Amino acid sequence: MTPDPIGAPMSIFKPDVLAGKVAVITGGGSGINLGIAKAFVAHGASVALISRTQSKLDAAAAELSPDGAHARGWAADVRDADALGAALDAAAEHFGAIDILVNGAAGNFLAPAAALSPNGFKTVIEIDTVGTFNATRLCFERLKASRGVVLNVSATQAFMPTPLQVHPGAAKAAIDKLTQDLALEWGAFGIRVVGIAPGGVEGTEGMKRLMPPGMEEKMRAALPLGRFTTTEEIGEVALFLVSPAAGYITGTTLVVDGASAMPISGVFWQATRAL
> How many residues can be counted in the chain?
275
| Near ligand COA in 116-145, by CB under 6 A | 116-117, 119-120, 123
What is the full DSSP assignment across 41-88? HHTT-EEEEEES-HHHHHHHHHHH-TTSSSEEEEE--TT-HHHHHHHH
Considering the complex, what minimum distance in angstroms separates the CB of residue 111 from ligand COA?
4
| Near ligand COA in 194-223, by CB under 6 A | 205-206, 209
Q: In Å, how far are 73, 118, 140, 191, 272 from 70, measured between CA atoms? A: 11, 40, 23, 23, 50
147 is a site residue for ligand COA (CB under 6 A): no
Considering the complex, what minimum distance in angstroms separates the CB of residue 154 from ligand COA?
11
Which one of 56, 83, 109, 130 is in contact with ligand COA (CB under 6 A)? 109
Q: Which stretch binds ligand COA (CB under 6 A): 107-115, 146-154, 174-182, 252-260?
A: 107-115
Which one of 50, 98, 106, 171 is in contact with ligand COA (CB under 6 A)? 106
Using DSSP bridges, classify how beta strands 192-198 and 149-153 pair: parallel, antiparallel or unpaired: parallel
Task: Determine the Cα–Cα distance for residues 163 and 188; give it in Å rounded to an integer.
Answer: 39
Nearer Cβ to ligand COA (64/78): 78
Considering the complex, what minimum distance in angstroms separates the CB of residue 77 from ligand COA?
8
Using DSSP bridges, classify how beta strands 192-198 and 253-256 pair: parallel, antiparallel or unpaired: parallel
Question: CA torsion, points 259, 260, 263, 268, in degrees to nearest 10?
Answer: 110
Q: Which stretch binds ligand COA (CB under 6 A): 88-96, 101-109, 186-194, 221-229?
A: 101-109
Task: Determine the Cα–Cα distance for residues 154 and 163; give it in Å rounded to an integer.
Answer: 17
Q: Which stretch binds ligand COA (CB under 6 A): 39-47, 109-117, 215-223, 225-233?
A: 109-117
Nearer Cβ to ligand COA (136/204): 204
108 is a site residue for ligand COA (CB under 6 A): yes
Task: Determine the Cα–Cα distance for residues 172 and 104; give it in Å rounded to an integer.
Answer: 11
Residue ranges binding ligand COA (CB under 6 A): 106-109, 111, 116-117, 119-120, 123, 205-206, 209
